[in-house]
Every structure is written in structure tokens, then in C-alpha cells.
Amino acid sequence: MVSASDFETKVKDQAYLEVYHVHVKTAPQTKAVPLLLQPVLEEFSDVFPATLPPELPPTRSIEHEVVLKPGAQPSNRVPFRLCKVEQDTLEINIFGVPKNDPVTGKFPSRLEWLHSNDPNMPIRWVIDYRLVNAASKVAKIPLPHIEELFDRMEGACVFSILDLASGCHQMRMASSSKQYTAFRINHVIYEWNVAPMVPAGMPGTWTQLMRHLLHKFAFVVVYLDDICIFSQTMAEHAEHLRQVCAVLSENKLYARPDKGDFGQDSVDFLGHTISLQGLHVDVRKTRAIAE
């Protein structure tokens, strides 16, 4: 063990032949899936793919729509000049975005890209939606009250957590609204076929879709991408899990296999630990404050 000042002195004196920076990362602990639930997960293995399928989500009754305020005009600014490095990294970024199509024609909106300026970090690009959001009329769809979700789970003994992969990318943009998502890569204009994450009102639209599909289940609570299934017994839980997976499979909605917890007596959900003993703040969320 060496202090920071001693280390700095020895480095200046070239006392070390080699210096390594080691970051120790512990592997996540995978919880065992109870035997009663394993046949359910095998039956609905299509719900838990390693990566999202390349095809577009199915057409559903709920899609994200951009509605402009009366008289509002969306952005169509002259594009910023990009250097060669920025152009190259932007092309890599866009080809990693799912299900965007190059299009031609005139657009009422053409969004621009912004990136972080931290020289110590790789360039991370985001689309600038501020002007389109300012011109949009946002439907007032409230998100669930987290406290009410927790209240509904009171007394449950068995829990499963599902994390829907890339959330809103599993929902289509309304055809009439794609034009307001258009963005430029070099001289090619693209538009979103699936819903991007940043447009105003997106969380509300996704919440509306989840309510439409899962509201009939009294044993399910949903907050954006996170689904919690809760039951009194393991046998009951197997049936509950089967019903939820059947809805997800029918609607081609996919969950992350590495983020799921199944049939546990204690789970982490929305920053809290939930069990038969009650509700507690997840200690991992408060450790930095305590230390």
C-alpha cells in the first residue's frame, strides 16, 4: 500500500518499471430459477432474445404521434459543419440505431446532432429534439404513482422482474409523425420508424401502451420498461408469469434475459427492495451517500 504523494514521488523518480491501473468488476450473481417456472421460460423463450429482432414492431393501436401546436413550425436549420472525425463517429452511431430508413423528399423538420465535448471520453451523439419538442402539443398521460404500485404488492410472497429491452424502440412511430423525426447523416436524410427516446410525451405514450396490454392483470405493476409480477404461492406465480409472457409474445415485446429475476422472495424494483417483510430502500442506491 502506498500513499498518493509517495506514489507521485516514485513515479517522478522512475522507481517503477511498469504501472498498471486495474479495475476489479465482480460478475453479477445470477439467481436460480425455481423448477416450477423453468417450463414457462422455455415455452416463451422467444420473449427473452439475446438481441432485439431486426424486423419492425407490429402495427398496434397505440403508436407515438407528434402533434404540433397551432401555427407552430418545427426545426429545419442549416446543418452544423462536422470535421472528419465527427462524421466518421456519427456514421458508426447511426448504423447502430435500429430500424431507421434513408428517405428522400422535402421535410418540414430536419433535426441536428449534438455530442459531448469531454476530451477524455469517446464522442457520444444525441439528436437535438428541443425545437420539435417546443413546437409539440404533448398529451397529458400521467405516469403511475410509484407509492401506489408498491401498495398493490403488499402481502405478496413471490416476485418476478422483467425489463423490456430498449423500451420505446419496440413501439412504432405513427406514419404521419415520422417526418418530424428526420435527421441528416452527411448528405442522407433518415427518419425513425420506431419511437426514439427523446421526443416530448414519449414516456406517456409508452405508459399508455403498457396499460392497454397489461391492465387486466391484478398481479402486475408496470413502470415504463420495468414489469413486476407478484403472487402468493409459487404455483400461482407460474400461471401469472405464463399469462404475462403470453401477452408479450403475442405482441412481439421482448425482455432482457440478463435483467430478469424469476420466482424470488425478494427483488429490487424502482430503487427499492421488495419482500414479504416489506419495502426497503435499495442499499446500493444509498451506499455512496452513507460513505
Greater model confidence, 51 or 289: 51
With beta carbons less than 8 A apart as the criterion, state whether 251 and 244 touch: no
243 by DSSP, 3-state: which? helix
Nearest to 260 by CA among 17, 10, 30, 25: 30
Lookup: cell for 67: 402533434
Tens-digit pLDDT profile for residues 59-79: 999 999 998 899 887 766 666
Tens-digit pLDDT profile for residues 211-263: 999 999 999 999 999 999 999 999 999 999 999 999 999 999 999 999 999 99
Q: CA 48 to CA 50: how far, in whole Å?
A: 7
Greater model confidence, 290 or 134: 134
Q: CA 231 to CA 211: how far, in whole Å?
A: 19
Nearest to 214 by CA among 157, 144, 119: 144
Tell me which H or E stretch contains 115: strand 112-115
Lookup: cell for 159: 416476485
Backbone phi, psi, residue 290, to 5° = -65, -35
pLDDT band at 131 (very low <50, low <70, confident <90, very high): confident
Torsion, CA 93, CA 96, CA 98, CA 103, rounded to 10: 50
With beta carbons less than 8 A apart as the criterion, state whether 204 and 95 touch: no
Q: CA 179 to CA 247: how far, in whole Å?
A: 31
Enumerate the domain spans of the chain: 38-290
Residue 64 CB coordination number (10 Å)? 23
Q: What's the angle, vertex CA 278, arms to CA 272 and CA 279, rounded to 5? A: 20
Q: CA 280 to CA 206: how far, in whole Å?
A: 27
Greater model confidence, 259 or 125: 259
Residue count of the chain, please give it: 291
pLDDT of res. 164: 96
Answer whether residue 49 shows pLDDT above 90.
Answer: yes
pLDDT band at 280 (very low <50, low <70, confident <90, very high): confident
Q: What is the pTM of this model?
A: 0.77
Answer whether residue 106 shows pLDDT above 50.
Answer: no
Give mean pLDDT, residues 99-128. 56
Say which range, 86-90, 92-96, 130-134, has the weakest mean pLDDT. Answer: 92-96
Nearest to 116 by CA among 103, 125, 108, 106: 125
Tens-digit pLDDT profile for residues 132-183: 888 888 888 889 999 999 999 999 999 999 999 988 889 999 999 988 888 7
Answer whether residue 286 shows pLDDT above 70.
Answer: no
Give mean pLDDT, residues 121-140. 77
Residue 179 CB coordination number (10 Å)? 18
Contacts of 82 (CB under 8 A, 6+ apart): 90
Lookup: cell for 20: 498498471
Q: What's the angle, vertex CA 30, arms to CA 170 and CA 270, rounded to 5? A: 55
Answer whether residue 98 shows pLDDT above 50.
Answer: no
Q: Which CATH number fits domain 38-290: 3.30.70.270, 3.30.1490.120, 3.90.1150.10, 3.40.640.10?
A: 3.30.70.270
Answer whether residue 128 shows pLDDT above 90.
Answer: no
Tens-digit pLDDT profile for residues 2-48: 666 665 666 566 666 555 555 444 444 567 999 999 999 999 999 99
Answer whether residue 99 shows pLDDT above 70.
Answer: no
Mean pLDDT of the chain, nearest integer: 81
Q: Given the DSSP bridges, would you call strands 272-275 and 266-269 parallel, antiparallel or unpaired?
A: antiparallel
Say which range, 114-128, 153-167, 193-207, has the weakest mean pLDDT. Answer: 114-128
Give mean pLDDT, residues 102-112. 50
- Which residues make beta-bridge pairs with 278? 275
Lookup: cell for 116: 459531448
- Which residues make beta-bridge pairs with 47? none
